[in-house]
Amino acid sequence: MRDERREQDARPGAVWAVIASDIGPLLLAATDAGLVTVVFHATDAVRDKALERLGSRLGTEPVEDPAAPLLAEPIRQFRAYFAGERRDFELPLDWSLISGFNRQVLRELAAGVPFGTVVGYGDLARRVGQPGAAQAVGMAMGANPLPVVVPCHRVVESDGGIGGFGGGLETKRQLLALEGVLPEPLF
């Protein structure tokens, strides 16, 4: 019993903050292991639901702390990215919210699809040794707990379509425009 209690006490807590960005408010949450989640459109209702889900998954209630040292570097890098001063995120990531095929695909995406480029769902499936798994890659993109940092916005349809996006197609267009893949909207 004592070991179980010690293990629970040692379980990392999470801190979170909402920051403004060019694509709307973003919720960033981190544990001792690294950035654990990024949530688009972090209005009060979206934020509350995301934090409830995160707390359930981590087994501890996330604490709002915009000044937390665990969030300082993620906040700095997000601001630099949206200011056009950063092309790559160099952050420790907590992969605990994702496993199996989804984790494999997301790690390949993070490592192998640089700023200003795109990859097709099928191409990404081939890269992880599952050439027939384009639809499963799409599901993995939808389950990505770390969008922008693990750039699921860079995954598009092989026929030139933009594909889907959990943050909404306009958000995907904005991110691809920021990276020079798509032209900036005229208005």
Residues labelled as active-site residues: 152
Rg of the chain's alpha carbons, rounded to an integer?
Answer: 17
Cβ atoms of 184 and 161 closer than 8 Å: no
Cβ atoms of 162 and 120 closer than 8 Å: no
Return d(Cα 109, Cα 113) in angstroms, integer. Answer: 5
Structure tokens at 23: 């694509």
Note the residue count of the chain.
187
